[in-house]
Structure 1
Amino acid sequence: MFGPNWFASVMGTGIVATAAATLPVQVPGLHAFATVMWLLAVLLLVAVLTATARRGVSHLDDPVLMQFWGAPPMALMTVGAGTLLLGPGEFAVAADLVLWSAGTLLGLVVAVAVPFRMMTRPELAASPDAAFGGWLMPVVSPMVSAATGALLVPHVGDGRDLLLACYAFAGISLFAAVIVITQIWARLVRHQVGAARMVPTLWIVLGPLGQSVTASHLLGRAAEGVLPDPYASGAQMLALLFGVPTLGFALFWAALAAAITIRTVRAGLPFSLTWWSFTFPVGTVVTATGGLAARTGSPVLTVLAVTFFTVLVTAWTIVATRTLRSNLWRTAPGQGSARSRSSRVAQSEAVTVGR
């Protein structure tokens, strides 16, 4: 079965390109690296969309995989942002408009539909210890709309309405994310870490945090010449006064998640598609710190952005290699009967969905 969680690989690859393109340092070959990663993300998006159309299933009755319907819209918008930053001229703007519009519409539907389904279907009722990072996936998408939409504001005729819409999208995601993060914290304190295979999803918490800082920075920059004062100046102030404290909490959570992950790795951390949670959320911290570094000129934030970028590239390399190796092993000849291969695939999928 092919589920929406595969779009996380597109998100994780696309954010490497975006982070490289916006890193607040100039390194020889960095732009070329960003372009290669963007092209790879485009190819992955096409491949995953094709596979989903051919053999994908909805998983809407699965309380875990259902959450990952937040990944397809974010994959579309991540590739769109990379296209705008790295693609050719007018084509890049047109392509990003299409991808952003499709991703935003789908993301808004998912942000409402998934929580609604959880609230109205008794068979999907969650136990007290069920909250996990994946619950953030449906509600993070509007924040991605806000951040990537800010990049489009200078390219549309009257950017005011788009700018205001992006602020509204940020509000949807921010308040919903606070509610979910609170539940995740309560679960960790009351019921401990839980299954090892779900530990990588703790890193998803960085997604709304880093992306909200990125969105506030980009929206503040986009407000210049679009909103009248004092609102344009207020948007600039908000970018810093909101961004720095939120980044502080993101770093706190990164340290906590890293400690739990290291502890789990020592005990044994099985590979699954949840490992892609090590990529996109970390990438949002790169764009967040990079934006604040560009805004303030802080050398500390610049070093922090480069450090997190190094972590991101390392994580992507490991996860991409393990994903490729896992799928090549599944399809390699001479691995036993079809029945045994089916059994291995079923076991791998069970790990993937967290059962």
Structure 2
Amino acid sequence: MSILEQASVAPVTASQQRADRWAERVRYVPPAWFSTVMGTGILAVVAASLAQRPWAGPTTARVLDAVAVATWLLATALLLAVATGAALHLRWHPGTARGHLRHPVRGPFVGAAPMALLTVAAGAVLVGPGVVGESVAVDLALVLWPAGTLLGLTTALLAPSRLRALRDAGQEPEPFAGWLMPVVPPMVCAATGPLLLPHVAASLRGALLVGCLVLAVLTLLLSLRVGGLLVGRVRSQGLGPAALVPTWWIVLGPLGQSATAAHHLGAAAPDPALGRAVALGYAAPVLALALVWLAVCAARTARALRTGLPFALTWWAFTFPLGTVVTGTVAVADLTGWWGLDALAGGLAALLVAAWALVAVRTLRGVYSGSLSVPV
């Protein structure tokens, strides 16, 4: 390079160097990172729900409340970190971000973003008042829940057109359980929306309740459509390779959340007795189906772990869907008053804690080693 050419090159400032380093760090931020928020936030919701059960004595309730506070704060911090990383990724690497959305496996996990918002919103109502005060907690929920609802409706309604676009482009992606991710968020809205009823104007409560019911029905219709494709896949090919095993836990999400939503909506109905009866008629068989599928997933996962299951962000599917089964079990326990379901919920919650600890440690290890910062 000549002297004139050297003189024409502007020196790289320290701020530019820092920006370049950050740009490199967020080069690969797939939407599945939001599942870390979901998996951590559901732990807070589960702990808060169990702390309110009649069997929880003062000491147990204090422990559960402490767990709920710690995990909700962690989920909130993770939401800020992941959302910031995703925004910077979109700004500095828009082509890569669009590639994630078009990818037949990574793309469906865009549904994790609205569910992350909704899970933290639920924690804000259940846990937040004791941490940041009721006013701040409710305001936070009233921001996150509508944002999660709008984003979730977008992902759910665009999911069928996205599949058509892949087929029009000559791709015939194999159905896998991750296809449920973009269609489940409206059901999470339906399960968490009733928590806001005491905090909105009386004139809006009816509309909120009806809106949650519509969102639940929408998810059921879309899930049935995707479910039909998944049943065909299982009949013809089984659960597929070991790497896809964690994604089959996602099927538990719409089952557990719909049982939880049925309980919350039934309890808030104008005729609570009728609402609870209808809720029980729906939630009990759905919970039974969820428990059967949980047993299938657990057996298949144990086999995959023995033969070698590579770690990926899909392992977070071991957490949130299982957490929804816990809340669904608590819902049916409340509707029936049967102590056995409370015991089952406690056992499943212990399994959830173990799964969360395992996946969190493996995620931290992957971040430290850099293995989660490159495409797989």
- For 1:34, which of 59, 68, 81 is the aligned residue? 68
Aligned to 1:69: 110
The CA distance in 2 between the partners of 1:70 and 1:10, in whole Å, is 12
Aligned to 2:78: 44
CA displacement 1:57-83 (0-9 Å, x = unmatched): 241221111101100000001000001
* Closer/same/farther in 2, CA of residues 111 and 278 from structure 1, 3 Å limit: same
* TM-fit CA distance, 1:195: 2.2
8 Å Cα contact 1:118-1:124 kept in structure 2: no
Report the 3-state secondary structure (helix = DSSP H, G, I; strand = E; otherwise coil) of the residue aligned with 2:179: helix
Letter of the 2:63 counterpart:
G
The CA distance in 2 between the partners of 1:233 and 1:135, in whole Å, is 36
Letter of the 1:319 counterpart:
V
CA displacement 1:150-178 (0-9 Å, x = unmatched): 11122211200100000000001112112
The CA distance in 2 between the partners of 1:191 and 1:72, in whole Å, is 30
The CA distance in 2 between the partners of 1:345 and 1:139, in whole Å, is 26
Count the aligned residue pairs: 328
Residue 272 (structure 1) aligned with residue 318 (structure 2): no
Letter of the 2:103 counterpart:
D
TM-score, scaled to structure 2 = 0.84
For structure 2, which runs of at least 5 residues remain unmatched after alignment? Answer: 1-27, 91-96
Aligned to 1:120: 165
The CA distance in 2 between the partners of 1:52 and 1:3, in whole Å, is 8
Aligned to 2:93: none
- For 2:228, which of 170, 176, 182 is the aligned residue? 182
Aligned to 2:147: 102
8 Å Cα contact 2:276-2:335 kept in structure 1: no
Mark the structure with the bigger radius of gyration.
2
Aligned to 1:323: 363
TM-score, scaled to structure 1 = 0.89
Matched ranges for 1:225-240 at <5 A: 227=270, 229=271, 232-240=272-280
* TM-fit CA distance, 1:263: 1.7
Query: Cα RMSD between the aligned structures?
Result: 1.5
The CA distance in 1 between the partners of 2:170 and 2:87, in whole Å, is 26
Aligned to 1:287: 327
Matched-pair identity in %: 48
For structure 1, which runs of at least 5 residues remain unmatched after alignment? Answer: 331-343, 351-355
Aligned to 2:286: 246
Aligned to 2:347: 307
The CA distance in 2 between the partners of 1:124 and 1:66, in whole Å, is 17
* TM-fit CA distance, 1:19: 0.4
Report the 3-state secondary structure (helix = DSSP H, G, I; strand = E; otherwise coil) of the residue aligned with 1:139: coil
Aligned to 1:89: 134
* TM-fit CA distance, 1:293: 1.3
Letter of the 2:230 counterpart:
I
The CA distance in 2 between the partners of 1:236 and 1:246, in whole Å, is 15
Aligned to 1:336: none
Report the 3-state secondary structure (helix = DSSP H, G, I; strand = E; otherwise coil) of the residue aligned with 1:14: helix
Matched ranges for 1:14-33 at <5 A: 14-23=41-50, 24=53, 25-26=55-56, 27=60, 28-33=62-67
* TM-fit CA distance, 1:345: 6.0
Report the 3-state secondary structure (helix = DSSP H, G, I; strand = E; otherwise coil) of the residue aligned with 2:359: helix
8 Å Cα contact 1:204-1:281 kept in structure 2: yes
* TM-fit CA distance, 1:296: 2.0
* TM-fit CA distance, 1:185: 2.2
8 Å Cα contact 2:329-2:345 kept in structure 1: yes
